[in-house]
């Protein structure tokens, strides 16, 4: 359950704006993959976003640059099949490689390695530090999700309470499982509704509340929903490049 939206009267004399954050798994197999990538990038640009968390990329620089340019966001980082695009300058990039139990189908393991389960970066705005991360956990081996959950929780446990955490992606597990509960035990809230979902945008931080959360299907472009959460924050919203 998300905390209630704050009463604007509780912030006298302070400007507020909405931070628009998307999490999207872009998996789109087929001969028209490049066309679909362009279509997804156009959708991101149309939404006038601040932070985009991408998963299940093919791991190529060309694809990453297509999404960064197409989204209109000036900053970005990527590792393996996860990426972060941002209106804000990103620093302190990390993408830890984690131990991985082999798949039961070795050829698939070789073609789709996931030694990197998440990437992390930070940005500063109006004196507030934001820690953002994009996640794609394993859908085949439970032990790999447990490894990813332990590493994620350990990373979040070191984030000061005065900082904001935005943590989203395709976790390939449900909110009530031990793996995701281990992460949420670090004080994170689900910005969306409870349900039979494996994609989430989680958050934590002072004076950060959910204004609106939507789930949008993009048939023909990806088999995952696009999650969009609008957060209420203090300050002025910066312009996009």
Do 51 and 85 meet the contact criterion of CB atoms below 8 Å apart?
Answer: yes
The pTM score is: 0.88
Q: What are phi and psi of 180, to 5 degrees?
A: -75, -35
> Residue ranges of the alpha helices (H) in 18-95?
33-46, 61-71
What is the average pLDDT across 126-142?
A: 92
Is residue 203 domain-resident?
yes
Which range has the worst mean pLDDT, 65-69, 147-151, 201-205, 232-236? 232-236
- Tally of domains in the chain: 1
**pLDDT at res. 100:** 83
**pLDDT at res. 229:** 97
240 pLDDT more than 60 = no
Q: Which of 75, 81, 114 has the alpha carbon at shortest distance from 93?
A: 75
Is residue 223 domain-resident?
yes
Lookup: tokens for 150: 């332990």
Could you list the residue range(s) of the whole structural domain that residue 169 is in? 8-234
**pLDDT at res. 175:** 95
Do 143 and 98 meet the contact criterion of CB atoms below 8 Å apart?
Answer: no
Share of the chain above pLDDT 70, in %: 86
Query: Vertex 218, ends 87 and 68: CA angle to 5°?
Result: 25
Mean pLDDT of all residues belonging to the chain: 87
- Strand bridging mode 16-25 / 51-55: parallel
Q: What are phi and psi of 165, to 5 degrees?
A: -115, 130
Is residue 117 domain-resident?
yes
Is residue 2 domain-resident?
no
CATH code of the domain containing 127: 3.60.10.10
Lookup: tokens for 145: 């999700």
Q: Which of 231, 125, 238, 75 has the alpha carbon at shortest distance from 168?
A: 231
Is residue 1 domain-resident?
no
42 pLDDT more than 90 = yes
Is residue 240 domain-resident?
no
Q: Which of 215, 183, 185 has the alpha carbon at shortest distance from 199?
A: 215
Taking each helix axis from N to C end, the angle separating 33-46 and 61-71, rounded to the nearest 10 degrees, works out to 30
Cross-strand pairs, 24? 54
């Amino acid at each position: 359950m998300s905390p209630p939206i704050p009463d604007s009267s509780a912030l006298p004399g302070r400007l507020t704006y909405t931070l628009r954050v998307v999490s999207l798994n872009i998996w789109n197999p087929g001969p028209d993959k490049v066309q679909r990538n362009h279509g997804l990038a156009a959708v991101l640009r149309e939404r006038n976003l601040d932070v985009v968390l991408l998963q299940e990329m093919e791991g190529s620089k060309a694809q990453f640059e297509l999404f960064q340019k197409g989204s209109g966001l000036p900053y970005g980082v990527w590792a393996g099949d996860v990426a972060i695009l941002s209106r804000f300058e990103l620093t302190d990039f990390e993408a830890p490689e984690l131990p991985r139990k082999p798949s039961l189908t070795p050829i698939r393991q070789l073609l789709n390695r996931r030694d990197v389960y998440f990437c992390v970066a930070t940005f500063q705005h109006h004196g507030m530090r934001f820690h953002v991360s994009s996640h794609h956990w394993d859908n085949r081996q439970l032990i790999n999700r447990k490894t990813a959950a332990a590493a994620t929780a350990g990373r979040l446990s070191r984030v000061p309470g005065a900082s904001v955490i935005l943590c989203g992606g395709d976790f390939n597990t449900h909110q009530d499982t031990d793996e995701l509960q281990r992460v949420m035990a670090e004080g994170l809230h689900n910005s969306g509704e409870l349900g039979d979902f494996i994609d989430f945008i989680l958050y934590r931080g002072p004076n950060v509340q959910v204004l609106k959360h939507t789930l949008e299907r993009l048939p023909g472009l990806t088999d995952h929903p696009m999650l969009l959460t609008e957060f209420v924050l203090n300050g002025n919203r910066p312009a996009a490049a």
